[in-house]
Structure 1
């Protein structure tokens, strides 16, 4: 993919991070890249970011073509064609990313790359919003990943060893996990024989606003071997990865003790009520979509049809390549003539793009945009 417009970064740093991760994964994990791109297109259209910035409009059009190409290249891949399989894939990949970062923390070998991996995990967990709002456990995982990413980045910036502030994961702490959850805010560990570890922070201790706000999935799914390849964000393997600009990791306003990872035993603390990143009028609350269905290939079904059997934001079904005009042979030359004028292939391609956007706008009940885009398409085809 080409460069991500700066207007997207200015509008939402987390959306920009998602686009960056899609670009990084495009060649090595195209299915995960597909869902990253899918969410980005979803959000651009829902927020009308394309309506006020030509660069964003062009980028989104190309991104939609990329979605169609990935879907065509992986037509038999259930993680793209089936909602349940797609959500499971995203959840497992997100958990695998978080687990890799946690293993480095437990080994006290934290580097800047570890912060990047935690941040990536938060970004990936957020994609589950495609299928409905994230549950409390997922929100806790996002908090935990965000906190660690910010903690490590802050320590490195200040010239400190980030391993000094690593949460304790030794056997003693595991044996008293339940007790520490009962009174997480108690700053006094008492002497005793137990090591004094940083207290598990409440979810509320991690600021929400611009830092890595991103939700996603229950942790109890087993990661299939096909999804569990390690190293996508680890420094040892990162040399093989495309490297767009690394998303910034922001500081927490004041670093409270770490949120406890929700997978380690007791249920997570009650999450704060901050909203997840806005997403387009999805109303379903259960991950598996309910029946009642516009077809998944409906042109840019990026509308509020969250109950469809496919995710409601399916990219356009129109082929990416320029279609041959009806009844014409594949011979090169003008595609067609109208009113005595020749319509070349470039004009037809541009007309097709505007027609796609008109359909997208209608899915969002944005009639003025649909009319404008259709008029542009007709002008390109020689209509007066």
Structure 2
């Protein structure tokens, strides 16, 4: 797998270092996540419009070269669609981000406060950042992103001070209660939480085998976020993904370093051949319908459900 070990990130681009770091960590664990992490780093660096110098040019051209090598590795493995279609790619990265977020939230609510819990919230926040390479975040993902970054900062500060954190969200007075999403102390104005002390790539499994799904059935108190259907809280991957589509393995190790997307097509009940992209688009329409129902927007919900049905029945949408 391509590597950026020889690429020096100039101080003027230090904002993208966390995404380069998480890309390196996933080079063998999940090359698709690694590719999109680098793509987001490249897009962010280009938008910063720093003065061109030999140092900045070497960084940008070097990162671009590594990005293309990552893409070719994925394509050579027979999975071109996951890097050529943002719809397919976004489903993969979103599922992976949610899986890490739910693991961290489970650990936090079970009062298992340690560095791995902090790192998991921190990584989930970065992965939600990376989702912006596909466009503006949905309200649900934006909420998850803000909460993950706040929780990483809060837990890290408590551990450094030797204080016992409160599990779950806090109310505005600092006690256990409804979630708050105001900017936490010591968080930069751009909303990017600082990395926890000692943060570095690790071999920690996210989530570990047999980890129960969110929320723990015994956990009292208000749930975060609300239990209404949303794009941020899909059911287990076995129910979420249609036949032929890809869902991340339960643990990165189960993938054996391979990019495990099944065959390119499947057949609908009407005999129409559907691609992975078709299934992903149908899933998006269903998510949009679910979001519309949360706002009691019945016409929009019906329209998106009809589009999903039409796509699954005919293989196209008018």
Give 1:201 deviation, angstroms. Answer: 3.6
CA deviations 1:25-67 (Å, max 9, x no partner) are 1122111000000111112222233x43433321222222222
Matched ranges for 1:1-384 at <5 A: 1-2=4-5, 5-8=8-11, 10-11=12-13, 13=15, 15-49=16-50, 51-75=51-75, 76-77=78-79, 78-161=81-164, 164-167=165-168, 198-206=176-184, 209-212=189-192, 218-222=231-235, 224=237, 226-230=247-251
Q: Could you tell me the TM-score, scaled by structure 1's length? A: 0.47
Gaps of 5+ in 2: 195-229, 239-246, 258-293, 296-318
Larger Rg, first or second structure (1 or 2): 1
Distance 1:86 1:221 in 2: 16
Distance 1:157 1:231 in 2: 30
Indicate the residue corresponding to 1:175 in structure 2.
none
Q: Which has the higher helix share?
A: 2
Distance 1:61 1:55 in 2: 10
Task: Classify 1:224/1:62 alpha carbon distance in 2 versus 1 (closer, same or farther; 3 Å).
Answer: farther
Distance 1:72 1:43 in 2: 22
Indicate the residue corresponding to 1:278 in structure 2.
none
Give 1:198 deviation, angstroms. Answer: 0.7
Please tell me whether the aligned partners of residues 5 and 56 of structure 1 are also in contact (alpha carbons under 8 angstroms): no
Q: Could you tell me the TM-score, scaled by structure 2's length? A: 0.56
CA deviations 1:133-184 (Å, max 9, x no partner) are 11221111111101110111101111223xx42127xxxxxxxxxxx9xxx6
Number of equivalent positions: 205
Distance 2:183 2:60 in 1: 36
Distance 1:100 1:209 in 2: 27
Task: Classify 1:201/1:99 alpha carbon distance in 2 versus 1 (closer, same or farther; 3 Å).
Answer: closer
